[in-house]
Chains A and B, each alone.
Chain A
């Protein structure tokens, strides 16, 4: 099913069809069993009619006699039903951070790129993709759908996201965990500029609901290595707060703070089974997405 994104100008700025086509060669798979509504390429917790053998089970009245394994009956003189893995489709919900800090550099653009590409790949392979924006205004959830026209709707929604206000992403994730009943792939695209323990709380909540959580951590290189060469006044993009910064004074402490922060985010991701990917904005997005898709396929085979 080849789906083309909408033709509006916004979609043209962040969606790269060539990249999407190239990445389509790699399937977007869930690391956990999904509960889809239709048959698909993803593992389901239920037994189904796929070619993948699952197990034998004693026949019980009411079972479809067509699934009775006569060879097993001949060998053991007992009636067994042969069960196969069920394949189902994937529900993917893209959570894009719309806080003010996402306006720094190309973060929001990168987030749109990732979200649009993944949405395209998912819908293109018959899975459902939804979108929600985490912002102060509290964006509505665009429910996951698998129809081709949903791509345009989703892209429009992506194009309408603006970076403003304080980050509410942990609230959005908690809200999603309570809202989405079926197992889904939750893809968080954010700069994660909030206290790491909040991420742990949200990730554990989603894992408890059997959701597969992936995080794209957007980082601008200038945030890691600020280029100030003189005292500057830094204005917080999420509030009115400003801080006078003398690079000579702050440099060492800043490096330590960044290092500790990243280590903590990575540790939380590991401990909560979050598929964590750091996205450096000076690197091509395709590279990150390639690593993401390939990694998930590898995890599934293992």
Chain B
């Protein structure tokens, strides 16, 4: 329990007043000389227990009543798990609110509010009750902190509206703690309004160590309150376009769209997806089973003369409307983004990559030394990049299997839905494995017949694949020539053919190599919405590169319908028309939420403790049901106290009644 008027508690010694009065009253009784004490002693002996108990009860009730009056004057707060820290907020403490506006926070709770609104409402109610006026907001969709004038301002549409960008909670938390430190605030309350999705909390961020250090430096005067949303049983579905491309069958050019739908539960369902291009809407039913459904290359007719089209795919609104739409643009020169990493220069792979896509990451002829260090990806493109696979949809890898940091990067890339195809090194090292698959011995002794789909072809040499893979191609000796395995949402492909020797029959033939590469590239779920697509909020990575430094302010041609109040460019999903300086024709940019926003995994508090040991999180459950008070986590409960006072006084009066009257009354 905490109090708004803590000073009133100094009067608590007044609870001794009834006891003092009792003692004075005892002295005040007239003293009468009495002879027949033996009668009194006999009578008192018979009734001593009950009478004493009654006297003590009366004294206790009187003391409690006085205490309750003092408590009521101190304006007590019902705080639940909020803790006594609340009492400081209203007086001198600084309040910091870290707001996660990511799409996952737009999930609606039982009372119809989104998690973001419910959380903000609870925080605002609490701060209003406590009288907090120094509020600083760190918004996931804003680049700087915002000083908020009052708790009510937190409920303004500018803060309650949703963004489509993911939150970077470690960055926000770090900025908040730096803000406190730089302003020399030793007493503060930090509220984190977030649903603790892994995608937003980024457990592998390097900032956690700094956050922990800062928290230790700030000391125990800073309290951290973390909202906790009760789990609900509502099913949410999300939609994403994983590929949009032109398909020309000779007579007509059509837009082929691959749509993925995922649902929270594993039951089978049909989700109708509406595809709108150029004002024309087509509907396709997508069967969702085990939580995943996909329709591949859904053809949408478009005007034949258009070089650049845009549109959106949407599914019926559900518990989270923020992931029910996906925007895309398709331009003429759209190609898939490939990463090419080869231990030995492979002309065949380079040519095939250029034909099938666009190489955005290259590290060829890296040699064994770099391979051994496990840093081939980091030094790609001739420079060190923190996340080299961020723009890659499919990775083509020749050489020893990745290890160390490379293996971690590739593994995460596959988990997120990317695809990677591995070709053997010139000399295989059988001790290195990836996903329990190893390269075996080279077989260069004789030509062998092999099959891939309906094709039959000759190969002169191949490296065996050790491990359990789904067989795609095999030789007449039943050796596995090509196979694949599922890794998370992505797929790892393995092909034992020699792609280094330009004279090898497999390379010369080329058909199977192109077919295999094409399948691998097409299997990637990562689709950067065409060459002009961006992930909402990730402007640092691609914004400038796409539109140039001198771009004029963009204009949304399409966007989520109810987000007019939120105008942060780049944090709002839609199709943006940007006209770079000096150009007459604008460029279309599709901006969508991160595909990881659909992931349900949350960061538990134990993990947070491990990440930032200096922070003692105070979990506060947000009341989300219809009947819940919207007054925040704390409520003044003086009404209850006064009721208790009245009840106590009635009780005292009844106990003080003469015994005969009391018996009559009962």
Stretch from B30-38, B119-127, B337-345 forming part of the interface with A: B30-38
Would you list which residues of chain A between 174 and 195 have a CB under 8 Å from chain B? Answer: 191, 193-195
Partner-contacting stretch, out of B43-51, B282-290, B421-429, B438-446? B43-51
Q: Which of A195, A242, A250 contacts B38 (CB 8 A)?
A: A195
Q: Flag if B29 contacts A235 (CB, 8 Å).
A: no
User: Is chain B's interface secondary structure helix, strand, loop, or mixed overall?
Assistant: helix
Q: Contact between B36 and A101 (Cβ–Cβ < 8 Å)? A: yes
Q: How would residues 74 to 115 of chain A score, 1 for a CB under 8 Å from any chain B CB and 0 otherwise?
A: 000000000000000000000000001111100100000000
Inside 8 A of A235's CB, which chain B residues have their CB? 31-34
Q: Are A253 and B29 in contact (CB under 8 A)?
A: no
In the complex, whether B40 has a CB less than 8 A from a CB of chain A is yes
Give the distance to chain B from A213, nearest Cβ to Cβ, in Å: 22
Q: Are A104 and B658 in contact (CB under 8 A)?
A: no
Contacting pair A256 B43 (CB below 8 A): yes
Contact of A231 among B29, B39, B47, B660 (CB under 8 A): B29
B29, B31, B36, B37: most-surrounded residue (chain A CB, <10 A)? B36
Q: Which positions 52-72 of chain B face chain A at CB distance < 8 Å?
A: 54
A65 at the interface (CB under 8 A from B): no
Q: Pick the contact of A243: B40, B47, B659, B660 (CB < 8 A).
A: B40
**Residue A276 is within 8 A (CB to CB) of chain B in the complex:** no
Q: Decide if A258 is an interface residue (CB 8 Å cutoff).
A: yes
Tell whether, in the assembled complex, residue A250 and residue B33 are in contact, meaning their CB atoms are under 8 Å apart.
no
The yes or no answer to A137 lying at the interface (CB within 8 A) is no
B36 touches A249 (CB 8 A): no
Q: How far is the CA of A248 from the CA of B657 in the complex (A)?
A: 9
Min CB gap B6→A, angstroms: 40
Q: List, in ascending order, chain B residues with CB within 8 A of A195's CB.
A: 38
| Residue from B32, B42, B51, B659 within 8 A of A234 (CB atoms) | B32
CA of A241 to CA of B41, assembled, Å: 11
Report, as a range, how many residues of chain B touch the other chain.
20 to 34
Decide: B29 and A258 in contact? CB cutoff 8 A: no
Q: Determine the distance from Cα of A104 to Cα of B29 in the docked complex, in whole angstroms.
A: 20
A248 close to B38 (CB less than 8 A): no
Q: Which residues of A contact B47 (CB under 8 A)?
A: 249-250, 252-253
B383 at the interface (CB under 8 A from A): no
Cβ of B26 and Cβ of A244 under 8 Å apart?
yes
Partner of B33, one of A102, A104, A260: A104
Whose C-beta in chain B lies nearest to the C-beta of A195?
B38
Q: Which residues of A contact B42 (CB under 8 A)?
A: 253, 256-257, 260-261
Would A254 and B32 be within 8 Å (CB), given that A249-B47, A249-B659 are in contact? no
CA distance in complex: A226, B297 (Å)? 107
CB contacts (< 8 Å) of A191 on chain B: these are: 35-36
In the complex, whether A2 has a CB less than 8 A from a CB of chain B is no
Chain B proximity of A265: nearest CB distance (Å): 12
Q: Given the complex, which residues of B lie within 8 Å of A294, measured CB to CB? A: none
Residues of A within 8 A of B26 (CB): 233, 244
A253 adjacent to B46 (CB under 8 Å): yes
Q: A233-B29, A233-B32, A249-B47 are in contact. Are A241 and B37 (CB under 8 A)?
A: yes
Bound complex: CA A245 to CA B26 (Å): 10
Nearest-Cβ distance from residue B579 to partner chain A, whole angstroms: 96
Choice from A220, A232, A241 contacting B32 with Cβ under 8 Å: A232
B31 touches A253 (CB 8 A): no
Tell whether A246 is near chain B: CB-to-CB under 8 Å. yes
Contact residues in A for B31 (Cβ distance below 8 Å): 232-235, 242
Closest to B657 in A: A248
Judge whether A104 and B35 touch: CB under 8 Å.
yes
A148 within 8 A of B: no
Return the chain A residue nearest B25 by Cβ.
Answer: A231
With a 10 A CB-CB cut-off, give which of A104, A195, A250 has the most chain B CB atoms. Answer: A250
Please name all residues of chain A whose beta carbon is closer than 8 Å to the beta carbon of B37 when the two chains form the complex. Answer: 193, 234, 236, 238, 241, 243
Q: Does A237 contact B (CB under 8 A)?
A: yes
Set A232, A237, A256: member contacting B29, Cβ < 8 A: A232
Q: From residue 336 to 364 of chain B, which have CB atoms closer than 8 A to chain A? A: none
When distances are taken between beta carbons in the complex, the residues of chain A under 8 Å from B54 are 249
- Chain B positions within 8 Å of A248 at CB level: 658-660
| Complex CA distance for A144 and B41, rounded to whole angstroms | 39
* Contact yes or no, B38 A193, CB < 8 A: yes
* Complex Cα–Cα for A299 and B440 (A): 139
- Complex CA gap A166/B453 in Å reads 124
Nearest CB to that of B51 among chain A residues?
Answer: A249
Would A234 and B38 be within 8 Å (CB), given that A104-B33, A246-B51, A256-B46 are in contact? Answer: no
The answer to whether A234 touches B44, judged by C-beta atoms less than 8 angstroms apart, is no
Complex Cα distance, B40 from A191, in Å, reads 16
Alpha-carbon separation in the docked complex, A298 to B399 (Å): 143
Contact check: which of B29, B32, B40, B660 meets A250 at CB < 8 Å?
B40
Chain A 219-232: CB-based contact to B (< 8 A → 1; otherwise 0): 01001000010111
Closest 5 pairs (CB-CB, A-B): A253-B43, A101-B35, A104-B35, A257-B42, A234-B34
Q: Give the interface of B toward A (CB within 8 A).
A: 26, 29-44, 46-47, 51, 54, 658-660
Beyond contacts A234-B37, A250-B43, A253-B44: 19 other A-B pairs, Cβ-Cβ < 8 A, are A101-B36, A103-B33, A107-B35, A194-B38, A223-B39, A228-B32, A231-B29, A233-B26, A233-B31, A234-B40, A237-B34, A241-B37, A242-B31, A243-B41, A245-B44, A248-B658, A250-B40, A256-B42, A257-B40
Can you spell out 6 A-B residue pairs with CB atoms less than 8 angstroms apart? A194-B38, A195-B38, A233-B31, A244-B29, A256-B46, A257-B39
Interface residues, chain A, with chain B CB atoms under 8 Å away: 100-104, 107, 191, 193-195, 220, 223, 228, 230-238, 241-246, 248-254, 256-258, 260-261
